[in-house]
Copies of this chain bind each other. A is one copy, B any other.
Amino acid sequence: MIDHQRLHDLNQSKQAEHQLRLGYLSDLLSRRGLDAQDVIQQLVQFQVAIPSWALGTGGTRFGRFPLGGEPRNLEEKIQDIGLLNQLNGSSNSISLHIPWDIPKDVAAIQQRLQEQKLVIDSVNSNTFQDQKEQAYSYKFGSLCHTEQGVREQAIQHNIECVRYGEQLGAKTHTVWLADGSNFPGQQHFRRAYQRTQESLAAIYEALPSDWTMLIEYKPYEPNFYSMIIPDWGTSYSLCQQLGKQAQVLVDLGHHLPNTNIEQIVGRLLHFGRLGGFHFNGSMYGDDDLTTGSMKPFQLFLIFNELVDGAQDSAVSNPAVAYMIDASHNTKDPLEDLLQSVDNILGAYAKALLVDRAQLGEYQQHNDVVRAEELLRDAFLTDVRPLVQAAYRQAGGAIDPISAYRTAGVREQLIQQRGKLSLSTGL
């Protein structure tokens, strides 16, 4: 979509300004004993997966305003994510959604992935919608359903997801359940939990030994009285019962108002059970906005926990699987994803600036003001030159959104795929 020369030229035009800003910042950091290049190197290594369903214009139940040029199949989705990764070097993996992304020609898909230097990191099941060929409906639940036939069908679907994932080299299976109830009395809480646990155990049994199973939680929507896995406590207890390959997945938008999410992150790291993280932005609920667009300080505090856990030998948590999980109703989805990655890297960079030994000292002596100021110092630092340097060093664009626009990518996509192409997704 953007040839290398073009990208190189675009970078050239931004280079002088970028170098100036990077130079200033590097100087300031070095005065605090920090090496800018160290931070940049860690940013380059950071990768966040893009889900196949995030490439099209999303919508709410009230409507959808498509933009055109959306990918019509898995091959085109790979193309889009390859483009993102070309621009920011931070999105080298894809999360598949089954059945939307069932690979018809595995070898061809593998070839495409290789060409784009992408990998499939995880598969995601869908038991929140009915598919045409389905024997049973998920109207009243899937893994928690009262009828064995429905549960069996949902279990088989999940196992099928894992099998597709194996063909493509994935190592993670993510289960998000829309199961729940809309009205008091509709569902027997304890029995529904028990059935869910047993269904999950059946899926877990089919899991390859080097795979991880992520259990996502969400307090409401699409069910508005109860959700079968409403909170981290429920995910955690299910994981405990399933075994070591089961881990909790935290989605930023899946919390009740005012929840301290960074504390949950810290808890799960402490228990060694934080398996995955879904990024998005929200003000009211599962708003699925651009990551970092609403609560940038919260995003920083979450990265503060993640970095703190990663640097602490007392923590024995496996590597966390990061993914952007948003719905792009208002913006061009690709621009939205570029912004999200930008905000994620910015928060990560800031968390890397924190002097943890010093912070620990202040905490130990309850010097609240100094401890807070130390965190705020990192948060208030303008780290954008570091993120831009990471893009450039990874072979991408100093300013990915400008490059995307200047190259006229959306116009090209519309020309190729049509104004009315509609991608799967929400």
Contacts and interface: CB of A to CB of B under 8 A. Distances in A.
Interface string A136-162: 011110000010000000000000000
Nearest to A233: B233
A185 B257 contact: no
Nearest to A265: B189
A277 B293 CA distance: 25
Contact of A184 (B178, B190, B293, B381): B293
Which has the most chain B C-beta neighbours within 10 Å: A128, A139, A185, A266?
A185
A220 B368 CA distance: 18
A331 interface: yes
Interface string A332-366: 10011001000000100000000000011011111
Given A21-B28, A65-B139, A128-B62, A283 B267 contact: no
A124 interface: no
Interface string A242-275: 0000000000000011111011001101110000
Interface residues of A, number: 113
Contacts of A297: 184, 294-297
Chain copies in the assembled complex: 4
Contacts of A61: 58-61, 222, 327, 426
A183 B364 contact: no
A230 interface: yes
A194 B270 contact: yes
B284 A146 contact: no
Contacts of A269: 190
A205 interface: no
Given A59-B61, A233-B236, A186 B372 contact: yes
A364 B190 CA distance: 13
Contact of A63 (B128, B260, B362): B128
22 contacts: A60-B222, A63-B138, A63-B222, A146-B365, A182-B287, A183-B289, A183-B371, A184-B293, A184-B304, A185-B371, A186-B371, A189-B266, A219-B284, A225-B260, A226-B260, A231-B232, A233-B236, A236-B237, A256-B259, A257-B258, A284-B285, A332-B369
